[in-house]
Amino acid sequence: MDSLRIVPARDDKSATTQDTSNSFGLHDTLQYGPRSLATEVRKNGAVKDRLENWEATQDNLKLQMQRQLFGLHMPMRILMERKLVSQNSHMPVLSQSNLHLDILMGRDEMLECPDFMMPASELRQPSDIHADMEKKLRM
C-alpha cells in the first residue's frame, strides 16, 4: 500500500467467513450461531472499521514515509524487530503483556482504552487450550 492516508478509508464490506471460522476453515455454528448472509454482506458500523484500522493506518503512514525518505531497508528493519520481539512461546493464557513490543510501538508510557477495557470475549476462560495452541502455531 503506497498511500499516505492518516485516517482509515471507508471501504465496502465484503462477505467473509474468516472471522468465525473453526479449525476446518468453515463457519463455526456451535460457537457463533447460524450463518446469515444479511449480517455478513451488510455494511457494519463505520466507527468499528475506523477504530479497528486506526493503528494500522497510522503505522502504515509512518512506515511509508520512512520508506520514501530512507529507502526500503528502514521499514524492513523496523518490522523485523517487531517480529522478533513478538515471538511468544507461552501458551495463550488470558493476559499477555509484551513490554518490549510496547516500547518498539511507542506505547510504553501511554494508557489507552484497550489497556483497561476488556471485551467480554476476552474474559472467557480458554475452553480449549489445544485449539488455541493450534491456532497460534499455525500463524
Partner 1 sequence: MATASVYKGAGFDFSNEVRNTFLSERGIPLPKATSTGTTIVGCLFKDGIILGADTRATEGPIVADKNCEKIHFITDNIRCCGAGTAADTEFTTALISSNMELHALSTGRKPRVVTAMTMLKQMLFRLVPQPTHYHRPPSSIAPFPYRYQGHIGAALVLGGVDATGPQLFTIHPHGSTDKLPYVTMGSGSLAAMAVFEAKWQPNMEVRIPHAHPLPTYAHSPPPPPQRAEALDLVCAAISAGIFNDLGSGSNVDACVITASHTEMLRNLVKPNERVQKERSYQFRRGTTAIKKESIRSLIVDEDVTSITGEAMDIS
Q: Closest approach of Cβ 139 to partner 1, in Å? A: 5
Query: Is there binding between residue 119 and partner 1 (CB under 8 A)?
Result: yes
Query: Is there binding between residue 136 and partner 1 (CB under 8 A)?
Result: yes
| Structure-derived torsion over alpha carbons of residues 84, 86, 92, 93, reported in degrees to the nearest 10 | 130
Q: By CB under 8 A, name the one of 14, 34, 99, 112 that touches partner 1.
A: 112
Q: By CB under 8 A, name the one of 14, 45, 99, 124 that touches partner 1.
A: 45
Closer residue to partner 1 in complex, CB, 54/70: 54
Per-state percent for the chain, helix, strand, coil, to nearest 5 = 55, 0, 45
Query: Is there binding between residue 42 and partner 1 (CB under 8 A)?
Result: yes
Instruction: Indicate the burial class of 30 (C-beta count within 10 angstroms; 0-12, 13-18, 19 or more).
Output: exposed
**Cα–Cα separations (whole angstroms), residue 88 to 2, 97, 136:** 30, 10, 10
- Residues 6 or more apart whose CB falls under 8 angstroms from that of 41 comprise 13, 14, 15
Q: Closest approach of Cβ 2 to partner 1, in Å? A: 20
Question: Segment contacting partner 1 (CB under 8 A): 50-58, 61-69, 124-132?
Answer: 50-58
Instruction: Map the footprint of partner 1 across residues 88-107, applying CB under 8 A.
Output: 88, 101, 105, 107
Q: Report yes or no: 106 and 58 within 8 Å, Cβ to Cβ.
A: no
Query: Would you tell me which residues interact with partner 1 (CB under 8 A)?
Result: 10, 18, 39, 42-48, 50-52, 54-56, 59, 82, 86, 88, 101, 105, 107, 109-115, 117, 119-121, 135-136, 138-139
